[in-house]
Structures are given as C-alpha cells and as structure tokens.
C-alpha cells in the first residue's frame, strides 16, 4: 500500500480529520516531520485542509538550529505552507521545575504547539510520532514499571493532538523519503547514547529482534489490545468516580472511603490516577505511588497522609480520602484588639477576643479559652509560626518548642504554617485550635479575663 494511502486510512480509522480543518503541523526538519508535512500536503485537496507548520526552538543546539529553521522555511515555501517559529528556554525551565532536559523540552514543546494553535485558529495539531516511537515508548515504560495505562503507549488522537504516522514504521518513512527524493535534516541529539530512548532504539531493540524478528508488529498488537481495554476501563472509571466524589474543586477532590475499600484493585488503581489527574497533579505519579495510596486507604488511620510529587498531598480523614495539589498556605499577620475579631483567611477561621468581667466557663482549651489578661500587652498579634518559637503548654508544666509540640500533636507538616499563633509581645498566648500557654492560666488572683474563640469554616 502507498504510504499516503496508509496514512489516509489511519486518519479515517481514528477520526483524526473529517475535512475542512486548519492543521498545525510540528516541523523539526527530521525525517518523520518532513514525511508528515508532505503527506498532509498530498491529502490537502482531498480533505480541504489549511496547513500551517511550526518549528519549536528549544535553545539547546545553537549551532544546528539556524540551519534547521532555514531548511524548514524553504520546505514550507516550496509547498506554500505558512511557517512560524516559537522559542522556549528548556534549560531554565528544567532548573526551575526540577525536571531533566528531555522532560522540560517535551512540556514546553507541547505548550508551544497549543499556544500556536490558539493564535492561528488551528483545529488540530499534527505530530510525527511513528510506529517505532510507539514500540520504544512501550519498552521504556515497561522498564520504568508502568501499569497497563502507561503501556498502552502513545494515543493516535487525544484532544487537538493527532498522530497520522502512528501506524507507519520508521523504515517505511525513510524509504518514502528516499524514493521521492525528499531531503531532511538529522538532529544530533538523536545520535547520543546518553538518552534512554536512544539506547533502547540502538541497542536493546536490535538485541530483542534477535529473539523475535517481528518485534515491532508483536508489540504494536499488544499496545492495540491495551488501548482497547483502557477505553473500556475509562467508561467504568468515569461511572465509579462519579459515585465516589463527595466534593471537588480544580485542585482538590474528596472521595468517600468505604466504597473505595471494597473496589476491585484494577478499578481502584485507575480511579485513583483519574482522581489525582482531576486535581492537576498527575505528573510524576508512578505505579508505586498509587500502591502507597491504596495502603493508606486500607490500612491507614484518620490523619495519615502521603506527600507525592507535584505538591500532591493525599490525606486519609475519618470517612474521606482527600487529594489536593493546593499550595501550602502560610497565613498573614494580624492585629487583634479586644473586643474585636479578625478573619484569618489562610486558616479559613475567625478569631474573636473579648473581655469578661468575672470567672466564666474555662472553655475546651482548644477552640475556646479563658485567660488571665493581666500580664498581656494589647493589641495582641495573630501570626504564623516562626523559627525558634516556644511556649509553656497548659497542663504540661515546662517550656516546649512549638516545632516539637506540632510533632507530638501529629499536626501535618503542610498545615503548620496555617495555624494561627496568638502572641502578646514576644510571648505565645495561644496556639489557636490546640493549646493555650500555662503562663496566662486563670487563677484565683486573676482580675482581668480574656476570652479567645476560634471558629473555622469557609471564608
């Protein structure tokens, strides 16, 4: 079958294009992207396409990039295709986000494609991934311990992204370019042996083909089966997750615990991945992280938690499992002059202070306390914890570092900066919601009484 016909069949099979679309094609000048552009050009009339091409400059190969851009520009000129270039700073992005350069380049590249598609009004973004890329991805993820979803490989279509060459082997692409006398350039980074994908391509796959000459076809069949099963599971996962959600925001999802404890493990794993994805925090989450969450669900106690990559925290509460990628909050500082109150936004709380004329109910010592105001200086301050903070916990009898108090009270690390600390001068009066200071305990000699109350809720 002619390569163009093969690609046309792939486009129809996966409903990539229906006709009349504007397509933004990723163009690097390499054989895959050059082949993709020529095939799209040959299908342009049949599918009534408007084609644009984008080169993403990663600023990693300054000696080669100008020549590649020049080559791509001339190619697009010869095909009468609009051509543009976007520049990204991979090195800085990798350093800022703790990524390796390949991960950073991929993230920035996709971001650039989507940005260009919005600017140009493109309906689809066509990328040049081929069947060999699919095989390499399968092996790479297998080596890293991915589950079935990861092993299902590169999707032919997802959102605006389409991959018309995904069923074409690299050898077919090279043969097409040679037969049609179509030039291309070679990216030197694809020749380096220090990248895992390149080592798999150049060393591992040839060795595996010694055991199975039809390795590519065999793995592609496995990937196809896994993709079909994943589509089936996606339906089950969607229905299951809808029944589990107690509450959800863009960065936080709360799931009912009891139904999850009884889910089949194969469904539970997928539900948890989808739930984390719903918070925008799936990046960096591995199979082992999902297993840790399952252990938390089945064996954990209320208050137990996991800190996962991407600032994802998973907290087991009494009846809920909370997953959140919300930023860790550090409250601001406030002035509190009785009688009066202050809204502590980061803590989602209101603290009220008032004087009382005589001995009243002591309060529970956590959310409501009655203190001796005789040695206090006003206004009081409400602030977050500070390094070196200490106080004399009521009923404890001696000085204690606030850090040690939080540890003993099992206060989660990511919540400690959101706990209001009420102080008089340099002295801690009350850790709001936890414990007051023994030095301000009411006695029979107390003449001036101060009531402090914290009410938690939404604000």
Residue at 236 is within a domain: no
Q: How far apart, in whole angstroms, are the C-alpha atoms of residue 28 and residue 47? A: 24
Q: Are residues 340 and 449 in the same domain?
A: yes
Residue at 214 is within a domain: yes
Asked if the model's pLDDT at residue 8 lies above 70, the reply is yes
Closest CA to 42 of 2, 82, 15, 77: 2
Q: Are residues 114 and 205 in the same domain?
A: yes
Radius of gyration of the chain (CA): 30
What distance lies between CA 35 and its chain's CA centroid? 33
Residue at 301 is within a domain: yes
Residue 360 pLDDT: 66
Q: Are residues 301 and 400 in the same domain?
A: no
Residue 298 pLDDT: 92
Ordered alpha helix ranges (H), 246-386: 257-261, 265-278, 287-299
Residue at 227 is within a domain: no
Q: Residue 452 in contact with residue 373, Cβ under 8 Å?
A: no
Look up the domain containing 111 and give its range.
Answer: 3-221
Q: Are residues 295 and 339 in the same domain?
A: no
Question: Mean pLDDT lowest for which of 84-88, 189-193, 276-280, 363-367?
Answer: 189-193
Residue 362 pLDDT: 72
Confidence of residue 385 (pLDDT cuts 50, 70, 90): very high
Q: Are residues 160 and 34 in the same domain?
A: yes
For the entire predicted model, the pTM comes to 0.68
Kind of pairing between the strands at 82-87 and 50-57: parallel
Residue at 238 is within a domain: no
Residue at 112 is within a domain: yes
Q: Are residues 155 and 261 in the same domain?
A: no
In the sheet where 82-87 sits, what is the strand order?
82-87, 50-57, 22-26, 124-126, 161-162, 157-158
Residue 450 pLDDT: 94
pLDDT single digits (tens) 178-218? 999 999 998 776 666 667 888 999 899 999 999 999 999 99
Q: Are residues 71 and 49 in the same domain?
A: yes
Mean pLDDT of 35-46: 96
Mean pLDDT of 160-179: 96
Asked if the model's pLDDT at residue 157 lies above 60, the reply is yes
Q: Are residues 256 and 371 in the same domain?
A: no
Residue 278 belongs to a domain with what CATH number?
A: 3.30.465.60
Residue 204 pLDDT: 93
CA atoms within 13 A on the CB side of 301: 1
Residue 459 pLDDT: 43
Q: Are residues 150 and 14 in the same domain?
A: yes
**281 or 275: which carries more pLDDT confidence?**
275
Residue 404 belongs to a domain with what CATH number?
A: 3.50.40.10
Mean pLDDT of 372-377: 92
Residue 94 belongs to a domain with what CATH number?
A: 3.40.50.620
Using the CB atoms, write b or e for 149-165: b if 16+ within 10 Å. Answer: bbbbbbbbbeebbbbbb
With vertex at residue 441, the alpha carbon angle to CA 439 and CA 445, rounded to the nearest 5 degrees, is 105
Q: Three-state DSSP class for 296?
A: helix
Asked if the model's pLDDT at residue 282 lies above 90, the reply is no
Confidence of residue 119 (pLDDT cuts 50, 70, 90): very high
pLDDT single digits (tens) 284-297? 788 889 999 999 99
Asked if the model's pLDDT at residue 458 lies above 70, the reply is no
Which of 324, 355, 379 marks a domain boundary?
324
Q: Are residues 122 and 147 in the same domain?
A: yes
Q: What is the mean pLDDT of the chain?
A: 91
Residue at 258 is within a domain: yes
What distance lies between CA 376 and its chain's CA centroid? 47
Residue at 235 is within a domain: no
Q: Are residues 94 and 173 in the same domain?
A: yes
Mean pLDDT of 368-391: 94
Indicate the number of domains in the chain: 3
Q: Are residues 296 and 203 in the same domain?
A: no
């Amino acid at each position: 079958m002619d390569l163009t016909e093969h690609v046309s069949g792939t486009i129809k099979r996966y409903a990539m294009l229906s006709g009349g679309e504007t397509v933004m094609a990723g163009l690097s000048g390499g054989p895959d992207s050059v082949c993709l552009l020529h095939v799209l050009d040959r299908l342009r009339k049949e599918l009534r396409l408007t084609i644009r091409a984008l080169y993403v400059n990663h600023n990693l190969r300054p000696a080669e990039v100008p020549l590649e851009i020049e080559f791509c520009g001339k190619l697009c000129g010869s095909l009468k295709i609009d051509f543009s270039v976007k520049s990204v700073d991979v090195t800085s992005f990798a350093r800022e986000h703790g990524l390796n350069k390949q991960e950073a380049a991929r993230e920035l590249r996709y971001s650039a494609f989507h940005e260009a598609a919005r600017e140009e009004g493109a309906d689809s973004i066509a990328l040049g991934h081929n069947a060999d890329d699919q095989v390499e991805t399968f092996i790479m993820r297998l080596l890293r311990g991915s589950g079935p979803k990861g092993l299902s490989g590169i999707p032919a279509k997802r959102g605006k992204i389409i991959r018309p060459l995904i069923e074409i082997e690299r050898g077919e692409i090279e043969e097409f370019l040679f037969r049609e006398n179509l030039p291309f350039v070679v990216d030197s980074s694809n020749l380096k042996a220090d990248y895992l994908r390149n080592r798999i391509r150049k060393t591992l796959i040839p060795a595996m083909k010694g055991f199975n000459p039809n390795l590519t076809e065999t793995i592609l069949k496995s990937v196809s089966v896994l993709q079909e099963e994943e589509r089936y599971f996606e339906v089950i996962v969607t229905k299951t997750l809808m029944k589990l959600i107690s509450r959800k925001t863009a960065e936080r999802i709360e799931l009912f615990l009891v139904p999850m404890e009884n889910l089949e493990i194969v469904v539970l794993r997928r539900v948890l991945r989808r739930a984390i994805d719903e918070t925008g925090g799936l990046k960096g989450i591995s199979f082992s992280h999902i297993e840790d969450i399952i252990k938390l669900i089945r064996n954990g106690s209320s208050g137990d938690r996991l800190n996962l990559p991407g600032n994802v925290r998973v907290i087991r509460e009494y009846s809920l499992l909370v997953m959140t990628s919300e930023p860790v909050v550090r409250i601001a500082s406030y002035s509190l002059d009785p009688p009066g109150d202050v809204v502590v936004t980061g803590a989602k709380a209101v603290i009220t202070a008032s004087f009382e004329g005589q001995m009243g109910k002591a309060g529970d010592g956590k959310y409501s306390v009655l203190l001796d105001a005789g040695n206090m200086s006003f206004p009081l301050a409400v602030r977050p914890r500070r390094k070196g903070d200490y106080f004399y916990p009521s009923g404890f009898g001696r000085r204690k570092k606030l850090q040690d108090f939080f540890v003993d009270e099992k206060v989660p690390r990511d919540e400690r900066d959101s706990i209001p600390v009420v102080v008089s001068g340099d002295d801690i009066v009350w850790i709001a919601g936890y414990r007051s200071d023994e030095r301000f305990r009411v006695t029979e000699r107390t003449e001036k009484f101060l009531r402090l109350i914290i009410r938690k809720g939404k604000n």
